[in-house]
A = this chain, B = another copy of it.
Amino acid sequence: MTDTATAARPKIVIIGAGFGGLAAAREFAGKPVDVTLIDKRNYHLFQPLLYQVATADLSPADIAWPIRSIFRDAANIRVVLGKVTGIDEASQSVETSEGPVPYDHLIIANGAGNAYFGHDDWPVHAPGLKTVVDATTVRRNILLAFERAETAADEAERHRQLTFVIIGGGPTGVEMAGAIAELARVALARDFRQIDPRAANVVLVEGGPRILPALSDDLSAYARQALEKLGVEVHTGTMVENIDAEGVTVGGARIPAATVIWGAGVGVHGTAEWLDTKPERGGRIAVGADLTLPDHPEIRVIGDAAAVAWPQGPGENATVPGIAPAAKQEGKYVAKAILATISGKPSKPFKYRHAGNLATIGRHSAVVDLDRFKLTGWPAWWFWGLAHIYFLIGVRAASLVLLQWFWTYLTRRKGARLITGVTTEAHPVRESETKR
């Protein structure tokens, strides 16, 4: 490229540095385009392992990497730490807290957050697991519950503190339930004097007829049995009716519980408002077979933010699932499609290749449901572990994360069992109290 050509290089703007946005940006590295990657956080988060931060196996920095570091050698990729406030489709500009960012091609990959189906009072009692702060909040809640059980005044309160309810039987809920059960039964077993952490009650509540609905019937049944073997109480076909500071009401029954974790729903926040359009279910934006917006071939939506038809998928009107491999495929596809468009070449429609589904159940078991084979038990756990290490290497050399895992695995201790931050109510544990 000559210097004079630089001014005329197409401007690509990517909103969001999750799996989709990152995959797209990677394709553009070193290409004759100017890319601006906008995210409200300074790091890419490896969300599939976030539950291990919540259960004190990993530290946030083990699964999050500064976006600037990832692209430090890509001179044509600029990173903006800022919040998107709107999109001006007429003038082709993204409005952000750091000023307007003009685009020739826009990729919207802002992902999904937790969704509580209109219950605005539930998030404070039942945090979800989408962000680092979510995970450290859940970690604090879980660890404080054991502490409060240790000093509880009566048996009812002790039982309430030792009851953990997880709402939602998808992979997040299953993995959290298994990990909390193991935390109580192994890592904390001998740490208290007044309580036996092994007496903890872990309850998993799923509204549908079975947990892990994306997996086959037999794997779903296996997962349920494996959880029950760990001591988890599994309720299916049970809807959550209320969540408050004292516990939950599910299927007409009251469960006093100090810790409630939300894994029942995600939703896309903001995208429809930016585009001034009516979203699909969960706030997702409907896109065409080339992942562009109707009437806006210069705007593409990918990842959790998009509703992409999946003709080969299960059931009628199936859409591509909100998982990392799908977002990565879409990110790569749209980047290639934009580069083709710039070169005046056509692109084929996007075709999703579904690799399969998997979920861990504690430290020794998992279920893996691939096209070609199924696995359960510890072979599935190792498959799951190696698959995640492989994906992690894509972001950063994974040796340290691997070591941290083995360390925890070998010592059966939890390396990140810190209660940090400011707690709610008048509880004594306030980090900031040393500064008066």
Contacts and interface: CB of A to CB of B under 8 A. Distances in A.
A133 interface: yes
A1 interface: no
B40 A130 contact: no
A59 B132 CA distance: 13
A421 B81 contact: no
A197 to B, nearest CB: 10
A418 B192 contact: no
Contacts of A64: 418
Interface residues of A, number: 71
A191 B66 contact: yes
B415 A404 contact: no
Contact of A404 (B96, B400, B432): B400
A269 interface: yes
A41 interface: yes
Contacts of A99: 151
B123 A435 contact: yes
Contact of A41 (B80, B188, B414, B431): B431
A364 interface: no
Nearest to A96: B428
Contact of A151 (B66, B80, B136, B418): B80
11 contacts: A41-B431, A60-B418, A61-B416, A66-B191, A80-B151, A81-B429, A82-B151, A98-B151, A127-B435, A130-B434, A131-B434
Interface of A: 40-43, 59-62, 64, 66, 68-69, 72-73, 75, 78-83, 96-99, 113-114, 123, 127-128, 130-134, 136, 143, 147, 150-151, 188, 190-193, 269, 399-400, 403-404, 407, 413-422, 427-436
